[in-house]
Amino acid sequence: MTKILVTGSLGQIGSELVPTLRKKYGNENVIATDIRPNAPTFICEEGPYEILDVLNNSRFEELIKEYEIDTVFHLAGLLSATGERFPQKAWDLNINSLLSVLEFGRKYQFKRIFWPSSIAAFGPTTPKDNTPNETILQPNTMYGVTKVTGELLLEYYWQKFGLDTRCMRLPGIISSETPCGGGTTDYAVEIFYEAIEHNHYTCFVKPETKLPMMYMPDLLKSITMLMDADVAKLEHHVFNITAMSFTAEELVQEIQKHRPNFTVEYKPDFRQTIADSWPRSIDDSSARKEWGWKHDFGLTEMTKDMLEKLINSKKIFDQN
Ligand SMILES: NC(=O)c1ccc[n+]([C@@H]2O[C@H](COP(=O)([O-])OP(=O)(O)OC[C@H]3O[C@@H](n4cnc5c(N)ncnc54)[C@H](O)[C@@H]3O)[C@@H](O)[C@H]2O)c1
């Protein structure tokens, strides 16, 4: 029996990962947690929900003991754009909480820990196209610094203590359920909401900005696949992963195929510098070889599905 605790459950990824895990492992076996008290009903009524500040070690340990946790998906964190505004907070939250999870993992002999790294682990000196799994990691954002440090910690605990840590360097994640939490690729999500609601979007990166991306259904599939993978077949514990790469302009043109009246203006801000330091495309052949990763959604399929889901959800009013 697996007993899972998810941190940062109310965020963009957690709010969709928790229902996926509950479907697979049973509602009672997935304990959703977040620092925020106001969990939506689909999170707090379908299974256990606990308020947890991941920097509160005694509360964290209490929950691990109470629910006999053996697997943690550690999603609580500060993202790239917010991290540049509050670098000390980004270090504190992203790294000190990860260290606690790793120490709990050692003490309570967890089966597995999942922690997401990011393409932010790369930096301006990293090869920009088809970036390999093993390459230069010299990020120039505090968020990136925490992601490289986290990757090294996961590798250390695996090598030194045999703690089964698993990690993917996530590209920008596009999803329709929960708004983004302050990252540099947020434009690729916001643009859909604005296209439907106002037929206009002011984009904070230049039209030629090209970044790796993934649609949420593919992300949920990839996390499940990685966590199910036979450890004996893993040569890595930190994986590059991707599904598609497109420029901001290509995304606009794809949306315009469905909404011809949609217009965009470009007003790059401080996030342009962050985007410019990241790769344009990623080589994820290690993930494909070692645990069979294969994506389902490219730009065309993702755009169609996002627009349909947002319009059908009626969370925003269609101005078309
Ligand atoms: N979304 C992406 O595009 C993306 C890309 C690469 C990596 N990641 C990584 O995935 C993870 C989750 O990202 P997300 O997009 O869901 O983030 P998010 O900002 O949407 O959610 C983070 C959640 O953590 C919670 N949180 C903040 N401080 C906390 C604390 N002290 N204790 C407990 N919870 C706290 C917030 O309330 C929020 O619900 C992060 O580690 C992020 O770096 C995300």
pLDDT in tens, 239-251: 999 999 999 999 9
Question: What is the Å distance from ligand 1's center to 263 Cα?
Answer: 30
Question: With a threshold of 0.95, does the pTM exceed it?
Answer: yes
pLDDT at 291: 98
- Protein residue with least CA distance to atom 12, ligand 1: 75
- Ligand 1 atom closest to the Cα of residue 54 is 32
201 tagged catalytic: no
Nearest to 226 by CA among 159, 126, 154, 303: 154
- Protein residue with least CA distance to atom 2, ligand 1: 173
- Ligand 1 atom closest to the Cα of residue 14 is 16
Question: What is the Å distance from ligand 1's center to 183 Cα?
Answer: 10
Q: Which residues pair with 167 in a beta bridge?
A: 115, 238
- Protein residue with least CA distance to atom 19, ligand 1: 181
Question: What is the Å distance from ligand 1's center to 256 Cα?
Answer: 31
Give 279-320 pLDDT, tens digit per residue: 999 999 999 999 999 999 999 999 999 999 999 987 777 777
Active-site entry in 49, 143, 157, 266: 143
Question: What is the Å distance from ligand 1's center to 10 Cα?
Answer: 8
- Ligand 1 atom closest to the Cα of residue 174 is 3
Question: What is the Å distance from ligand 1's center to 260 Cα?
Answer: 34
Ligand 1 pocket test target in 5, 35, 190 with most atoms within 8 Å of CB: 35
- Ligand 1 atom closest to the Cα of residue 53 is 32
- Ligand 1 atom closest to the Cα of residue 9 is 39
Measuring from each residue's beta carbon to the nearest atom of ligand 1, which residues come in under 6 Å?
Answer: 7-8, 10-14, 34-36, 52-55, 75-77, 79, 93, 116, 118, 170, 172-173, 181-183, 185
Q: Range(s) for CATH 3.90.25.10 in the chain?
A: 173-213+244-313
Cβ contact 40:56 at 8 Å: no
What class does CATH assign to 4-172+214-240?
alpha beta
Question: What is the Å distance from ligand 1's center to 319 Cα?
Answer: 31
What is the C-alpha to C-alpha distance for residues 17 and 300, in angstroms, rounded to an integer?
Answer: 24
What is the C-alpha to C-alpha distance for residues 117 and 115, in angstroms, rounded to an integer?
Answer: 7
pLDDT at 176: 96
**How many CA within 13 A on the CB side of residue 84?**
17
What is the C-alpha to C-alpha distance for residues 216 and 281, in angstroms, rounded to an integer?
Answer: 18
Give every residue of the chain whose pLDDT is below 70, as ranges. none
Q: Range(s) for CATH 3.40.50.720 in the chain?
A: 4-172+214-240
Q: Which residue matches tokens 């315009």? A: 256
Give 156-178 pLDDT, tens digit per residue: 999 999 999 999 999 999 999 99
- Protein residue with least CA distance to atom 25, ligand 1: 8
- Protein residue with least CA distance to atom 38, ligand 1: 11
What class does CATH assign to 173-213+244-313?
alpha beta
